[in-house]
Structure formats: C-alpha cells, structure tokens
C-alpha cells in the first residue's frame, strides 16, 4: 500500500466549517491539544425531534467588535476536557466537517466559552493525524488573507 503525502501546514491557517455555514475562520494548529475546540460566546442546549441540540454564538475574527454568527448542531457527546492550565470542565462536543487544504472530512469539536482569543478555532492532533504535518516556524502556508 502506497503512503500518501502529508500536507504541510503553518501554526495557523484559514479553515472552513461548511455545515455551520462558516467559509473562513482563523484556526490555531495545535498538536499539543488532543481535541479540537471552537470558542463560543454563548451556548444553550435544547431538544429537537427527541434529540439534544446546542445553539451557540461565535465571532469569526475572535474579536467582540463585529457581529456574531449564530449556529446550531446536534450534540454528539459531553466529556471532560483538561485545558492548558490543567483545569477540567465538561464540554459539549459536536460532529462537523472541516475543509482544509482541499480536504473535507468530519471532526469532533468541543465548544468552549473563552474570550479574547485571536484564533476562535483550535485544531488538535486528532483532527490533523495522518493528513498533515505542521511547521511551527511558519503561518498561513496555504495562502489566503494574512493571519
């Protein structure tokens, strides 16, 4: 079986989340994080057709000065997540497609209410594994607007 070539990413890149209607969002590529996280301003669970859903609001540029984007998705799971400071919190996980470097595939995203971040999306190593290599010395290797 032939190995496929891995795509080189910088430490931050532009990413799309098509199922949420997000065509471009800044993402920090973080191999030190296991899971991927979408930083939301607010979230609320609700029931729809006998299933738990979550509605949430986020700012695509990571700043609160612009209008937020309203999204909703079925809840995939709830799990404990340890943040970089060692604090453990239960977070809602959703399944969503990510489009990056010509690839479009499903990943798990946890929703975290953390303010003031330049990169509202953090892509962890489980979303990157077997697809990408990361060059921590560079950013925006895929092109697009400056990050």
**Rounded distance between C-alpha atoms, residue 97 and residue 111, angstroms:** 15
Look at residue 67 and tell me if it is in a domain.
yes
User: pLDDT tens-digit profile of 67-82?
Assistant: 889 999 999 999 999 8
What is the pLDDT, as a whole number, of residue 65?
54
Three-state SS for 2? coil
Q: What range does the domain containing 36 cover?
A: 12-135
User: pLDDT tens-digit profile of 25-47?
Assistant: 999 999 999 999 999 989 999 99
Provide the CATH number for the domain around residue 19: 2.40.70.10
Look at residue 107 and tell me if it is in a domain.
yes
**Contact of 74 with 52, CB cutoff 8 Å:** yes
Contacts of 54 (CB under 8 A, 6+ apart): 43, 44, 45, 46, 72, 73, 74, 75, 92, 94, 111
What is the pLDDT, as a whole number, of residue 85?
82
The number of folded domains in the chain is: 1
User: pLDDT tens-digit profile of 102-127?
Assistant: 999 999 999 998 777 789 999 999 99
């Amino acid at each position: 079986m032939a190995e496929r070539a891995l795509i080189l990413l910088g430490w931050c890149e532009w990413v799309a989340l098509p199922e949420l209607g997000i065509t471009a969002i800044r993402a920090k590529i973080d191999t030190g994080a296991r899971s991927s996280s979408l930083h939301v301003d607010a979230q609320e669970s609700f029931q729809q057709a006998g299933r738990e859903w979550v509605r949430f609001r986020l700012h695509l540029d990571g700043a609160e000065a612009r209008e937020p984007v309203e999204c909703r998705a079925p809840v995939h799971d709830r799990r404990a997540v340890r943040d970089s400071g060692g604090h453990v919190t239960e977070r809602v996980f959703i399944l969503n497609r990510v489009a990056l470097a010509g690839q479009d595939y499903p990943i798990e995203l946890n929703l975290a209410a953390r303010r003031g971040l330049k990169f509202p999306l953090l892509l962890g190593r489980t979303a990157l594994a077997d697809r990408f290599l990361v060059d921590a010395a560079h950013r925006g290797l895929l092109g697009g607007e400056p990050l």
